[in-house]
């Protein structure tokens, strides 16, 4: 089963929902793992315009939102999801991992959208917690998000020890994603578990991408293992 995954920090849709929709629609992802999705109504509208099902941080009156999201395109569907808050994190900028179980035609996949902290010590702790989530998963796993760290960082390395860095298996041309206007750092990534074959990974860099967000998206073409 082929699966197209898009990972994207959409910067709160500050450049406008329409611009981000235009970028994402070109690639028709089956699965989108997003960061910094802004207000709930923005995420709902974005998903509706793309014809996708969106899953995000459940509402709470007592805590600030973790603005990660998992979106799927039918016939894929979300069978269950949960938010794991990653600690430590600043109160005004909480971090988390949105874990969604997605399925289609007997195929199951654990998808995790995450956004690590700005400080090295935070990121190391967050990466350790993510590894724990991966080890609990009963399906093939795809992890995607903004790590706020280059591949030579310790947190990045911890994840790369447990999962495959998709870019190293199928990346073409430059893989840098930030800043969008003149990217110099590969900090937005796709990781996959053993058994998922990486066919191709690309980072679009045209004018529309440069103006839609402060990050560039990552698009990965994957082949999932047969069920069972």
In this predicted model, what pLDDT tens digit does every residue of 44-89 receive, in sequence order? 999 999 999 999 877 766 678 889 999 999 999 999 999 999 998 7
Nearest-angstrom CA–CA distance, 124 and 171: 25
Q: What is the mean pLDDT of residues 136-143?
A: 92
Nearest to 146 by CA among 65, 69, 215: 215
> Which pLDDT does position 65 carry in this prediction?
82
Higher local confidence (pLDDT), 93 or 73: 73
* pLDDT interval class at 175 (50, 70, 90): very high
User: What's residue 61's pLDDT?
Assistant: 67
- Angstrom distance (rounded) from CA 82 to CA 179: 30
Q: Is the pLDDT confidence value at 172 over 80? A: no
- The mean pLDDT of 25-48, rounded to a whole number, is 96
Mean pLDDT of the chain: 94
How crowded is the C-beta side of 86, counted as CA atoms within 13 Å?
31
Strands 218-223 and 197-202: antiparallel
pTM strictly above 0.85: yes
Answer whether 90's CB lies under 8 Å from 96's CB.
no
Domain 2-223: give its CATH architecture.
4-Layer Sandwich (3.60)
Checking if the pLDDT of 189 tops 70, the result is yes
Q: Report domain extents, the chain.
A: 2-223
The mean pLDDT of 208-225, rounded to a whole number, is 96
pLDDT for 62 = 63
Question: Mean of the pLDDT values across residues 122-131?
Answer: 97
């Amino acid at each position: 089963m082929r699966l197209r995954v898009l990972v994207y920090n959409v910067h709160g849709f500050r450049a406008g929902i329409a611009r981000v929709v235009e970028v994402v629609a070109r690639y028709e992802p089956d699965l989108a793992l997003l960061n910094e999705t802004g207000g709930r109504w923005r995420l709902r509208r974005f998903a509706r315009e793309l014809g996708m099902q969106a899953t995000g941080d459940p509402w709470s009156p007592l805590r600030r939102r973790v603005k990660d999201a998992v979106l799927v395109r039918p016939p894929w569907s979300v069978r269950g999801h949960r938010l794991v808050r990653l600690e430590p994190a600043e109160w005004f900028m909480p971090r988390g991992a949105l874990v969604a179980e997605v399925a289609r035609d007997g195929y199951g996949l654990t998808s995790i959208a995450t956004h690590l902290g700005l400080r090295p010590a935070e990121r190391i702790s967050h990466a350790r917690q993510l590894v724990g989530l991966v080890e609990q998963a009963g399906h093939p796993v795809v992890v995607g998000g903004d790590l706020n760290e280059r591949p030579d960082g310790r947190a990045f390395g911890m994840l790369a020890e447990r999962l495959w860095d998709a870019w190293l298996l199928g990346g073409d041309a430059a893989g840098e994603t930030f800043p969008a206007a003149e990217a110099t750092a590969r900090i937005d990534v796709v990781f996959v578990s053993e058994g998922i074959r990486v066919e191709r990974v690309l980072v679009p860099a045209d004018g529309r991408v440069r103006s839609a967000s402060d990050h560039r998206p990552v698009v990965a073409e994957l082949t999932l293992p047969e069920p069972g």
